[in-house]
Amino acid sequence: MNLKKILSDFGSWIFIGLTFLGFIIIYAGVGGRGRYNPTGDINWYFIGVGIILILPFIIYMIKIKLMVKKSSDENAERINELIYNGYKVIVNLYDIEIKSNSYKQ
């Protein structure tokens, strides 16, 4: 396999793994099952670390959403411009040579 493709896939798997780990840490922080915390207490340090691990994923999702919205707006604007200003080609029918598609020609 190509080394560049392997490294690219490895980065995305790390990204997904850190996001999943962030959700697990937040769940553990909210559940509070630990040696020093009684069950049901909220561990704010765990929640903070989990949010920090999830933050890149949230930023990535917002970035992708804005890029998709921008590209769809640009495409809609281009389509409307073509509909409104459509190029009109003037064709002089007297100068056109018409050829038959007949196989007997």
Is 104 a member of any domain?
Answer: no
For every residue of the chain, DSSP letters joined together read: --HHHHHHHHHHHHHHHHHHHHHHHHHHHHH--SSSS-TT---HHHHHHHHHHHHHHHHHHHHHHHHHHHHHHHHHHHHHHHHHH-------TTSPPP----TT-
Judged against a pLDDT cut of 70, whether residue 104 lies above it is answered with: no
Is 102 a member of any domain?
Answer: no
Q: Which of 46, 50, 47 is nearest to 21 (CA)?
A: 50
**pLDDT computed for residue 96 by the predictor:** 80
pLDDT (average), residues 26-53: 78
Q: What's this model's pTM, rounded to 2 decimal places?
A: 0.58
Q: Which two tokens stand for residue 15?
A: 């990204």
48 vs 3, which has greater pLDDT?
48
Is 76 a member of any domain?
Answer: yes
**pLDDT computed for residue 71 by the predictor:** 92
Provide the domain count of the chain: 1
Q: pLDDT per residue over 45-83, tens digit each?
A: 988 999 999 998 899 889 999 999 999 999 999 888 888
Is 91 a member of any domain?
Answer: no
Is 78 a member of any domain?
Answer: yes
**pLDDT computed for residue 39 by the predictor:** 63
Is 92 a member of any domain?
Answer: no
Question: The domain containing residue 19 runs over which residues?
Answer: 3-85
Is 48 a member of any domain?
Answer: yes
Is 9 a member of any domain?
Answer: yes
